[in-house]
Structure 1
Amino acid sequence: MIHTQATQDVIRRLAVVGSGLAGLTAARKLVAAGVDVTLFEKSRGPGGRMASKRLTDPADSSADIGAQYFTIRNPAFLDFLTEHAGTGCWGQWDGRFRYQGADNGWQNMRPAERYVGIPRMSAITRALSAGLDVRTGVRIACLERDTDELWQLRDTEGAVHRGYDAVLLTPPPAQTVDLLNDSGLASLADDFNIQISRMQACWTVMAYFPDGAGADFEALMPNSRVLNWAANNSSKPGREDQGEWWVLHGDPDWSDAHTEADPDQVADRLVKEFRHFGAIEAMPGTVRVHRWLYARPKARTGPGQLWFERERIAIAGDWLDGGRVEGAFNSADSLVKRLASLGVLPDSP
């Protein structure tokens, strides 16, 4: 069927690539505006960098391997979480948070309300995804126009998902650029590259201390060129671990320089740094390693979101709005407001 211009002007069906906080926020708000939204997620479940890893050996627990906590500065973010995720799957994480000053002396981090998912960070995105059309285990390979000038998405298994007026891309910038190039949209990729900063890698180590690490703090940021962050994941609310799981994040520059390093050597180095700076005498019994190739933006500023009107392709993500968890919400929220202001949503005034 050939669509009329009026039908094409309004976004009635939209595909979202990625189901992290940005994708889920946009989906929730677009559905409320009368748009039929489908999310395509390459992983087994939603979450993006608000990810948690289940740890069944030696303890039946999990660890937050991406975002460690989030703060709320925008009241609209609080309202959104309360309305769409409820209040039972997230709460405040209190503890002793320390950092090493320029003189290498230890100082307490400034007081703040730090929030985490309960019983794991991914509980928030799972709650936000409830009732949405999220198709997991689907990796999108390219975007194509059909004979009606609608978007169809071809996945890596060869399946084609048809009939979308617009597409929202929420993967990290390098993956978004690859997808645009593979879709014959190199001009958008070139324009996109001008407006973004590079994402840095992050090695993450999960270290299990059966009898506890013996630390007198819950989180630590040392003056180290190797270790950027260490946190007692088991101290977060809702965790009922036997022993303690600690999450160690490598320094971004160090992680960038060692992306192809042997994981066992990475784990040894980060654990050594943690034990040194934290004055930890105990040795971990079990260690797990995860590598994030795209963890955080090198720069802390960005355009917020992008909308290519002629192609009807949008781009959103925390890396376009400062890199914080709340930035994912701000990016998606501002995108939906922009589309509403352009009059392309069914419920636009």
Structure 2
Amino acid sequence: MIDCQNVQTPLRRVAIVGSGLAGLVAARELLALGLEATLFEKSRGPGGRMAAKRLPDPASGSADIGAQYFTIRNPAFRQFLEQYAGEASWGEWQGRFRYQNDQGIWQDMRPAQRYVGVPRMSAITRAISQGLDLRAGVRVASLQRDERELWQLTDTDGGVHGDYDAVVLTPPPAQTVDLLTDSGLSDVADDLNIRISRMQACWTVVVHFPRGAGADVEGLMPRSALLSWAANNSSKPGRTDEGEWWVLHGDPDWSDANTELDPRQVRDQLLEEFLRCTGATGQPDDFLVHRWLYAKPRARTAPGHLWFGDRNIALAGDWLDGGRVEGAFNSANGLIRRLESDGLISAELTAR
């Protein structure tokens, strides 16, 4: 076990790798407590799996290819969204949602308030990121701790970023393990491998039906070995598409077994299964295919976050808290509350 008794030295500057929701929550909450936080993001902008991808038809905008919606059980999550995302960037997705039981009978999903970003899921993370020190297009290659016990981050272009009292890592576990190993932190990587389960892949197909798909639902979970989820992205609030864009998510086990399948075969197989499961009669005319290598945690239970107190390294992400969007908030929020309770966030800083 690597977690050790924390040395009560208050943190002042924190580097955060990844700007999905967990990274953004950590940055916002650290700033609110008077600390400095810098986000490093390998992509062009924030979002992580709250991602939207531009569609082949420019007039149609984009489709949510990652998280399809989120629920709110923790009042603190709602408060955070209201404060930092703003009410204009998210709204309730109302519609008919069904699942297929073990006997193959379709039933309505449990009533719930389902929320999405408006006009796309990434609108939420874009809004939260406004004003943060976010360095996009920077892929962190390694971490080094100097004789002052301050962290330096080296990117793939050779740039060095520092000095940081602590580092928060929010990428999926496989990428985090690679980063730790490349940083000479194999003991931390080994501990992480013991504590967490691996992520499963997900093939995603976005398909356009110019005259509608002919399905009588907005979202569905079929009993299928290929298809785990299908949703009418055009039915979400703020979308102004002509026709219907549907998002099809492959079953995690099937996706895992077919990660190297030709995207055209993925498209054909998931579309055929969608039509079979729904009885939809629409004729598609455009497609987009995306592969998520790290989409869903295999385990439903996890520690929430990880803090390696002898190194001042933390891990946060939805994969550490059940895999839901709200889990990303709970993970990062729980981490910051822990740092407060451990005396690593100075009362002097909080009062500034």
- Corresponding residue of 1:114: 114
- For residues 57 and 113 of structure 2, the distance between their equivalents in structure 1, rounded to whole angstroms, comes to 32
Partner Cα separation in structure 1 for residue 156 and residue 148 of structure 2:
23
Give the superposition deviation at 1:10.
1.5
Conservation of the 8 A alpha-carbon contact between 1:13 and 1:35 = yes
Q: Which residue of 1 aligns with 2:4?
A: none
| Structure 1 residues 8-50: Cα deviation after superposition (integer angstroms, max 9, x where no partner) | 9111110000000000001000001111100000011100000
Alpha carbons 1:8, 1:165 under 8 Å: kept: no
User: Could you tell me the percent identity over the aligned residues?
Assistant: 68
CA distance in 2, matches of 1:159, 1:131: 23
CA distance in 2, matches of 1:335, 1:127: 22
Partners in 2 of 1:188 and 1:238 — Cα distance? 44
Match of 1:190 in 2: 190
> Which residue in 1 is equivalent to 2:310?
310
User: What's the offset of the Cα at 1:213?
Assistant: 0.9
CA offset at residue 148 of structure 1? 2.4
- In structure 2, the residue matched to 1:262 is 262
Give the counterpart letter for 1:60 in structure 2: S
- Is 1:204 the counterpart of 2:204 in the alignment? yes
> Residue 153 of structure 2 aligns to a residue in which SS?
strand
Tell me the residue number matched to 1:85.
Answer: 85
After TM superposition, give the deviation of residue 214 of structure 1 in Å.
Answer: 1.4
TM superposition shift of 1:191? 0.8
- Retained in 2: the 8 A contact 1:38–1:134? yes
Q: Contact 1:173/1:198 (CA < 8 Å) preserved in 2?
A: yes
Residue of structure 2 in register with 1:301 after alignment: 301
1:220 is the counterpart of 2:220: yes
Give me the whole-angstrom Cα distance separating, in 1, the residues matched to 2:252 and 2:56: 28
Whether 1:18 and 2:18 are equivalent positions in the alignment is: yes
Q: Which range moves more in the overlay, 117-126 or 337-346?
A: 337-346
1:123-149 per-residue CA deviation (whole Å, 9 max, x = no partner) reads: 000011011000001100000123422
| Aligned twin of 1:291 | 291
Q: CA deviation at 1:56?
A: 4.1
Give distance in 2, aligned partners of 1:8 and 1:285: 61
* Distance across 2 between alignment mates of 1:213 and 1:274: 10
Q: How far 1:326 moved relative to its partner?
A: 0.3
| AA aligned opposite 1:172 | P
Q: C-alpha displacement at 1:58, in angstroms?
A: 6.1
| Contact 2:60/2:240 (<8 A) preserved | no
Give the residue type in structure 2 aligned to 1:325. Answer: V
Residue number in structure 1 paired with 2:3: none
Letter in 1 for 2:88: G
Deviates more, 1:98-107 or 1:143-152: 143-152
Matched with 1:3 is: none
Q: How many residues align?
A: 343
Contact 2:8-2:343 at 8 Å conserved across structures:
no
How far apart are 1:59 and its partner, in Å?
A: 3.8
Q: How does 1:211-250 map to 2 (within 5 A)?
A: 211-250=211-250
Tell me the secondary structure at the aligned position of residue 314 of structure 1: strand
Matches within 5 A, 1:8-87: 9-57=9-57, 59-87=59-87
So what's the TM-score if we normalise by structure 2?
0.95
- Aligned-pair distance for 1:193? 1.0
1:171 aligned residue: 171
Shift of 1:304: 0.5
Pairwise CA RMSD of aligned residues? Answer: 1.3
Match of 1:275 in 2: 275
Distance in 2, matches of 1:234 and 1:57, equals 13
- Other-structure match for 1:338: 338
Q: Which amino acid in 1 is paired with 2:84?
A: H
Output the CA distance in 1 between the equivalents of 2:283 and 2:195.
45
- Asked if 1:151 corresponds to 2:140, the answer is no
Partner SS state of residue 289, structure 2: strand
- In the alignment, the residues of structure 1 paired with residue 71 and residue 13 of structure 2 have an alpha-carbon distance, to the nearest angstrom, of 33
Q: Alpha-carbon deviation of 1:346?
A: 3.0
Structure 1 residue 281 displacement after superposition = 1.4
**Preserved CA contact (<8 Å) 1:58 1:286:** no
Aligned to 1:127, what secondary structure does the other structure show? helix
8 Å CA contact retained: 2:213, 2:282: yes
Rounded to whole Å, the distance in 1 between the matches of 2:304 and 2:252 is 22
C-alpha distance in structure 2 between counterparts of 1:19 and 1:58, whole Å: 26
Measured against aligned partners, the alpha-carbon deviations of 1:197-255 in whole angstroms (never above 9, x if no partner) come to 11000000000111111111101111110000000000000000111110000000000
